Amino acid sequence: MDSKVIKKGIIVGFALFSTFFGAGNLIFPPGIGAASGTQWVAGALGLFCSGILLPVIAVIAVNNSGGDVKNILNPVTPWFYNFFYLIMVLILATTSTMPKLAATTHEMGVRALTDKVPMPVTILIFFLIIFFISKDASSVVDKIGKYLTPVLLVALLIIVAAAVITPIGAPVPTGIEKPFVGALITGYNTGDLTLGLMCASLFFNALRDGEIKKSQINAGIYITALVAIIGLTIIYVGLLYLGATGNEYVTTDMSMATMLIILVEQLLGKIGSGVLAIIVILACITTGVGIATIGAEFVEEFTKGRIKYTTWLIVVCILGGCLGILGVNRIVGYASFMFAVIYPICIVLTFLGLIKKFLPNDGPFKGGVLMAFLFSLMETLVNAGLNISIFKIILSKMPLAEYGFSWLVPSIVGMIIGAFIIKTKVPDVIE
């Protein structure tokens, strides 16, 4: 294989890794490890499936569908692509994720290094960095992959290596009954599956920049995916093992952020606090750059150039800054409701994207997404405390409902019925 393909695949793979690895990804693994105890391997497998494998598969699914996420979203209905991205960009990203990343940068990053920097200053600097890295979309992946990710990886490996070589304790039984399932569901909360679908084109474009031949693009994509999987697995398992060995110092009723801080300080002392602060800051920046870039590209496309790429970046930075000052705990939590409804839909779309070339028509997309939406919406409303008897009765009859997967079997049934009822097939967007 051409050395240029390998080099480019590794650089883009680093960028994919760091785009997926946000601050939330940092706090979930230790929490899963602490809850799993001696069953930490089962917890690691659950996290691997939902937090690593599924998001990377989403990128491959987009590639298998012609390299454009429109080919996965358009078969649902012609307006679904715009609807999906408007929700992701305008609601989840701009008014929730970006402000949270900025606030987290201050609360878990800068504050750990010094208490002399006011929060507004941190947030201003955070969004200035986001703007200047993102303003040239064509160079974003190279900037992340060549410069930011290596520093992030080194800092993460310091903690992981210390956790494995000089563990702070030994895993103990915690009485957890379903460590795999618990970790699997917790892994959904990283949000990386939606990010994989949204940002796939960003990494494809980086591989199509002319440095490697068109015929070698697919090889580059699979190298990219492999690099991201290996990197995420090493870091996640190491952090999860740190949590599993720290039972003496933390309790499962602690917030995951507090748990992480205590574990790292116990492992590396005050130096650990500094290393962790650097990780948090870099993780927030790399994820923020990916989200801001893909969001600005969509808005320019959606408005047919009336709102320019740079203009939307400025809007994101200003709005994110205004909301970020509120702090993590005060940033509105409606995104979690939207996320709980959208994630099952994204899982269905990812699966169908992988097998799209073998499907006879668009029926599986229409039926599968419709059922995933209806049942995930019912489940979310019930979990939110709404006492809707008919929803509870329907959900109680569904297989796997006790594991939070009441939508799975209905979605499969919807795919099958849709394949028989619908005869049309939307042409693919040609890249």
Q: Which pLDDT tens digit goes with each residue over 164-190?
A: 999 999 999 988 888 998 898 888 777
pLDDT of residue 235: 95
pLDDT of residue 431: 56
pLDDT of residue 293: 93
Rounded to an integer, the average pLDDT of 266-278 is: 91
pLDDT of residue 142: 86
pLDDT of residue 374: 95
Q: Could you give the CA distance from residue 308 to residue 131 in angstroms, rounded to a whole number?
A: 14
Share of the chain above pLDDT 90, in %: 56
pLDDT over 70 at 206, yes or no: yes
pLDDT tens column, 77-88 = 989 999 988 888
Q: Could you give the CA distance from residue 202 to residue 58 in angstroms, rounded to a whole number?
A: 13
pLDDT band at 334 (very low <50, low <70, confident <90, very high): low
Burial of 345 (0-12, 13-18, 19+ CB in 10 A): buried
User: What's 360's DSSP letter?
Assistant: S
User: Which pair of structure tokens corresponds to residue 385?
Assistant: 């405390």
Closest CA to 209 of 428, 9, 429, 1: 9
Q: Could you give the CA distance from residue 188 to residue 47 in angstroms, rounded to a whole number?
A: 9
- The residue behind tokens 């991201």 is 228
Rounded to an integer, the average pLDDT of 2-31 is: 87
Q: Could you give the CA distance from residue 232 to residue 220 in angstroms, rounded to a whole number?
A: 18
pLDDT band at 118 (very low <50, low <70, confident <90, very high): very high
pLDDT band at 44 (very low <50, low <70, confident <90, very high): very high
Residues 6+ apart with CB under 8 A from 238: 156, 159, 160, 161, 163, 164
User: What's 214's DSSP letter?
Assistant: G
pLDDT band at 332 (very low <50, low <70, confident <90, very high): low
User: Which pair of structure tokens corresponds to residue 284?
Assistant: 């927030």
Q: How many CA atoms lie within 13 A of 182 on its CB side?
A: 19
Q: Could you give the CA distance from residue 272 to residue 113 in angstroms, rounded to a whole number?
A: 11
- The residue behind tokens 């429109």 is 70
Rounded to an integer, the average pLDDT of 15-29 is: 86
Alpha-carbon Rg for the chain, nearest whole angstrom, is 21
pLDDT tens column, 127-154 = 999 999 999 988 898 889 888 899 999 9
pLDDT over 70 at 231, yes or no: yes
Alpha helices by DSSP H, listed for 21-118, are 23-36, 40-47, 54-64, 70-73, 80-86, 98-104, 111-113
User: Which pair of structure tokens corresponds to residue 298?
Assistant: 């969509």
pLDDT band at 210 (very low <50, low <70, confident <90, very high): low
| Cβ–Cβ under 8 Å, residues 277 and 118 | no
Query: What does pTM read for this prediction?
Result: 0.88
| Cα separations in angstroms, 139 against 73, 86, 168, 181, 293 | 27, 24, 41, 39, 11
DSSP string, 144-184: IIIIIHHHHHHHHHHHHHHHHHS-SS-------S-HHHHHH
| Cβ–Cβ under 8 Å, residues 359 and 419 | yes
pLDDT of residue 386: 81
pLDDT of residue 335: 65
Burial of 312 (0-12, 13-18, 19+ CB in 10 A): buried
Three-state DSSP class for residue 426 = coil
User: Which pair of structure tokens corresponds to residue 427?
Assistant: 């042409």
Round the average pLDDT of the chain to a whole number and report it: 89
pLDDT band at 326 (very low <50, low <70, confident <90, very high): confident
Q: Choose the weakest-confidence range: 216-220, 223-227, 266-270, 304-308.
A: 216-220
Q: Could you give the CA distance from residue 266 to residue 261 in angstroms, rounded to a whole number?
A: 9
User: Which pair of structure tokens corresponds to residue 243?
Assistant: 């949590």
∠ CA 322-323-325, nearest 5°, is: 75
Rounded to an integer, the average pLDDT of 74-78 is: 93
Q: Could you give the CA distance from residue 313 to residue 133 in angstroms, rounded to a whole number?
A: 11
Q: Could you give the CA distance from residue 207 to residue 318 in angstroms, rounded to a whole number?
A: 31
pLDDT tens column, 398-418 = 998 887 789 999 999 999 999
